[in-house]
Amino acid sequence: MSMYSSRKAFTLVEIVIISLISSFVFVSIFMVWMRTGRTTNKGGEMLDLQIAVRSINDRIRSDVRTLCEVISATENKITFLAYLKGKKVEVTYKYDPTTRTLVRNTAGTPGNFRANGLVTRAKFSCRPSLEKFEYLQLALELTSEGQGNAPASKLAQVMVFSSRSLDPAFVDVK
């Protein structure tokens, strides 16, 4: 045997220390990866809700811009006459809390929005009143379905729509 015994293997203590350090690094990376995935999912849900609100906003805005007469209005439903393709058409928007949908009817043809099943609250109000209509206010809350145990995302918005077709109140100038 030689006097110099060289160490060519790891000791048990070195192996334990290396495995602890590497497991700490892997657990940290895994936690960051999981958190990033949740954040991405939440961002996707919020984007879907924003797109749904935008589509509702665009559709109602185009109808109310051509509004010529409000027929009836409650918190969950509004019916008015609007010009569509050059003709006066009765347009109805109705919120159904049981199915969580906002429905648009024109001359007997129902149509759901893209936010079908996402609308948790909707409230219509004619301002300052139904008789002296100046603008329509819609308070809307959408809630995503949520995935797994993650809480659902919510988005609330108040929208104001005014008509370009109403006769302005002219004043006689003397």
What is the secondary structure of 78-92 as a DSSP string?
EEEEEEETTEEEEEE
Cis check: omega of the bond before 128, within 30 degrees of 0: yes
Predicted confidence (pLDDT) per residue in 39-71, tens digit? 888 888 899 899 999 999 999 999 999 898 899
Query: Residue 171 — pLDDT band, cuts 50, 70, 90?
Result: very low
The residue that leads in pLDDT, 125 or 86, is 125
- Identify the CA nearest to 93 among candidates 159, 165, 46: 159
Predicted confidence (pLDDT) per residue in 114-152, tens digit? 678 889 999 999 887 777 888 899 999 999 887 667 778
Question: Taking the complete model, does pTM exceed 0.95, yes or no?
Answer: no
| Percent over 70 (pLDDT), the chain | 84
Q: Which residues pair with 92 in a beta bridge?
A: 79, 105
Question: Residue 53, Cβ neighbours under 10 Å: how many?
Answer: 22
Residue 163 has pLDDT above 90, yes or no: no
Q: Quote the DSSP letter at residue 14.
A: H
Query: Residue 173 — pLDDT band, cuts 50, 70, 90?
Result: low
Residues 133, 70 contacting (CB under 8 angstroms)? yes
Q: Which two tokens stand for residue 64?
A: 């109310």
